[in-house]
């Protein structure tokens, strides 16, 4: 298949690099990373090792692609959708792997192709331009954004499997997106504020905060009509924290680099939805307030 990766940061570069072992891939990202990939190829190291030569550029190309993989920060989803539409890219499918809720709705508002939802628990970081490090092998789950069967998801899932990316095609993506939100709320925000690795949340006060955050997300999910129990949400947080115990979460990476975080997409979306539905979210609100205060102090908002 022909893949176009929009947002070739850590996760986008890792998935694009793995896909490039079997498929044609074009990465769209920022220099100096893109320039290094264009000049010397993309080195994948860590838990998976490979060296591939995908196409790489800083702008969205026109032309024909089977699938666009959107791995931008959630706050850049709107811009990615507009760039794809403006470039007139001919697409069969768009797959969002960004954090938060409603990214798929944003993409569908600009693009006529089938829009899929997805989650991915691979750990990734870019230690230097032209290199992406796999810090943990995870799973990718994709499916129709509203749930149910999807021939498009089947095709993309097969292509991922061919490239060695363990992938499940699921018919319950709405529930899985809320579970992913619970994991992100329970892991990203506490580790970013505590400057701790994910494994610090497996016991002690970090675990208590992570579990409270996950339970609040689950309660908002149920009020939204999605069947996600408190136990399922907390078990997912602990499962991912254990599998990625040595990892620095993506939100902590943003904090350490003085970059804007995804606090609005990961925490704000659940807090706002909870307010609308009358579901209290005191832990999520406190975490969000602290992260927003940190961003405001650095003029990142």
What are the pLDDT digits (tens) for 259-287? 999 999 999 999 999 999 999 999 999 99
Q: Which domains does the chain have, with CATH numbers?
A: 2-169 (3.40.50.720), 173-297 (1.10.1040.10)
Q: How far is CA 128 from CA 120, 123, 282, 298, in A?
A: 22, 16, 39, 24
**In the numeric block, which tokens belong to residue 111?**
């693009």
CA separation for the pair 54, 39 (Å, rounded): 11
Mean pLDDT of the chain: 96
List active site positions. Answer: 180
Per residue in 243-265, pLDDT (tens digit) is 889 889 999 999 999 999 999 99
Res 136: pLDDT: 85
Q: Per-residue pLDDT averaged across 4-22, rounded?
A: 97
Res 221: pLDDT: 98
**Single pTM value for the model:** 0.93
Res 216: pLDDT: 98
Please determine, for residue 123, whether its predicted confidence score (pLDDT) is greater than 90: no
Per residue in 188-231, pLDDT (tens digit) is 999 999 999 999 999 999 999 999 999 999 999 999 999 999 99
């Amino acid at each position: 298949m022909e893949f176009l990766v929009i947002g070739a940061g850590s996760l986008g570069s890792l998935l694009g690099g793995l896909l490039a072992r079997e498929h044609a891939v074009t990465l769209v990202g920022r220099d100096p990373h893109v320039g290094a990939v264009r000049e010397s190829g993309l080195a994948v190291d860590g838990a998976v090792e490979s060296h591939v030569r995908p196409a790489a550029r800083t702008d969205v190309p026109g032309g024909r692609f089977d699938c666009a993989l959107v791995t931008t920060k959630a706050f850049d989803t709107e811009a990615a959708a507009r760039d794809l539409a403006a470039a007139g890219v001919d697409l069969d499918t768009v797959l969002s792997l960004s954090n938060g809720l409603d990214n798929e709705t944003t993409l569908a508002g600009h693009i006529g192709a089938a829009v899929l939802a997805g989650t991915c628990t691979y750990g990734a970081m870019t230690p230097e331009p032209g290199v992406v490090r796999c810090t943990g092998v995870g799973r990718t789950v994709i499916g129709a954004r509203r749930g149910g069967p999807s021939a498009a998801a089947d095709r993309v899932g097969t292509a991922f499997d061919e490239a060695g990316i363990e992938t499940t095609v699921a018919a319950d993506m709405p529930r899985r997106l809320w579970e992913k939100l619970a994991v992100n709320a329970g892991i990203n925000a506490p580790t970013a504020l505590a400057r701790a690795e994910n494994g610090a949340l497996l016991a002690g006060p970090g675990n208590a905060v992570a579990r409270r955050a996950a339970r609040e997300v689950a309660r908002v999910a149920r009020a939204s009509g999605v069947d996600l129990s408190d136990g399922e949400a907390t078990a997912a947080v602990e499962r991912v924290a254990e599998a990625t115990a040595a990892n620095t979460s993506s939100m902590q990476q943003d904090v350490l680099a003085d970059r804007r975080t995804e606090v609005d997409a990961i925490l704000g979306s659940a807090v706002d939805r909870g307010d609308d539905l009358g579901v209290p979210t005191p832990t999520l609100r406190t975490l969000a307030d602290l992260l927003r205060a940190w961003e405001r102090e650095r003029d990142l908002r």
